[in-house]
Amino acid sequence: MKYDYLIVGAGLFGSIFAYEAKKRGNRCLVIDKRHHTGGNIYCEKVEGINIHKYGAHIFHTNDKEVWDYVNQFAEFNHYINSPIANYKGDLYNLPFNMNTFYQLWGTKTPIEAKAKIASQIEELNIQEPANLEEQALSLVGKDIYYKLIKGYTEKQWNRRAVDLPAFIIKRIPVRFRYDNNYFNDRYQGIPIGGYNVIIEKLLKGIDVRLNVDFFKDKNELAKLANKTVFTGMIDQYFDYKYGSLEYRSLKFEHEILDCENYQGNAVVNYTDNDTPFTRIIEHKHFEFGEQSKTVITKEYPQDCGKEDEPYYPINDKKNNLIYRKYLELAKKEKNVIFGGRLADYKYYDMDKVVKRALEIVQNEFR
């Protein structure tokens, strides 16, 4: 049977495209090299808890159209992301807000907190920041930077902050309110039952083949359909003609613990340099679970090798120039649609993936 669309990648982007194409009467085949659908939002049930297998995914958006769209496929709970920072055993609220400032200095009013930050910035007298460290210090002063930014950032990038460019941190959100809600977005939550609920409904009635590597039989697979929707790495699609695009990756260590509640919060960031991981996720708190056991995940940032999952594009000048060359090739490619985090070489929050997929759908079927 000849398909209308071969969709390479069963993540959120590919699944939305397949759903919308099928809705319009098209035959679709979705393939994925993993043993499961859902891409990085895949959840695995362990001890009755939905484990975010590839890192914490919290849906948040200000876009009512996107929010209404995803709510067709799942009911969302009222989870609010309020992470905690652990710096050498001392705990601080995130994002930086009046609770954080009280924990740092004992300040109780916005005037006191603003004065404290301003005095530290003035003391440093950094006129033109030459690197990330100087940029951050010039924005929030030494206490916030050294306790809550420096170690975390250096672990994320595996480079000293003084060796990172200043433009990485353009601004640092500072709230002079007692508000621990990490996201400012109007809509926020976790799908009840996990993200698999959404993916299963999107792909219902659509042909799906798992454990299929597109690049092992690229030409034959492409012949199965009139058009290909490609959501993988754009540089790999073009056989790295202009070189490899760089990413940061993550390693996850999952652990089942014989206790009801390990850390009392879904997300705790470890902001010192001595702790090798950046954060611990306790998954049950995403859905307010009361199971007798708990599951935690430690996240370790790492360089992205050929066998590692690419998570964060390194959108510096060098990589962006390479990507633009691949983008020009993509524009000339007949009957291939490129889209998603890897094909667009851009870090997307989930709402932006939904938005991008719906834009591609509109362009394709208008």
Could you write out the three-class secondary structure of 268-330?
EEECCCCCCCCEEEEHHHHHCCCCCCEEEEEEEEEECCCCCCCCEECCCHHHHHHHHHHHHHH
Give dist(CA 259, CA 359) in Å, integer: 45
Q: Name which of 61-65, 156-160, 240-244, 275-279 the model is least confident about.
A: 156-160
Q: Helices in 52-109 by DSSP H: which ranges? A: 64-70, 98-105
Active site residue 248: yes
The one catalytic residue among 246, 299, 344, 351? 299
Give dist(CA 97, CA 144) in Å, integer: 11
Active site residue 299: yes
Residue type for position 307? E
What does the pLDDT read at residue 1?
A: 73
Active site residue 175: yes
Give dist(CA 81, CA 58) in Å, integer: 7
The one catalytic residue among 20, 175, 282, 341? 175
Active site residue 186: no
What does the pLDDT read at residue 316?
A: 86
- For range 135-162, the mean pLDDT: 96
The one catalytic residue among 279, 311, 326, 348? 279
The one catalytic residue among 69, 262, 300, 347? 347
What tokens were used for 84?
């905690």
Residue owning tokens 């050929």: 306
Residue type for position 21? A
Residue type for position 303? D
- The DSSP symbol for 203 reads T
The one catalytic residue among 247, 248, 287, 351? 248
Give dist(CA 350, CA 41) in Å, integer: 9
Give dist(CA 263, CA 281) in Å, integer: 9
Whether the predicted model's global pTM rises above the 0.85 cut: yes
The one catalytic residue among 47, 179, 349, 364? 349
Q: Is the pLDDT of residue 22 over 80?
A: yes
Q: How confident is the model at residue 276 (pLDDT cuts 50, 70, 90)?
A: very high
All structural domains of the chain, each given as residue ranges with its CATH number in brackets, are 3-79+186-246+315-365 (3.40.50.720), 103-168 (no CATH)
Q: Is the pLDDT of residue 171 over 90?
A: no
- For range 69-84, the mean pLDDT: 97
The one catalytic residue among 128, 171, 220, 274? 171
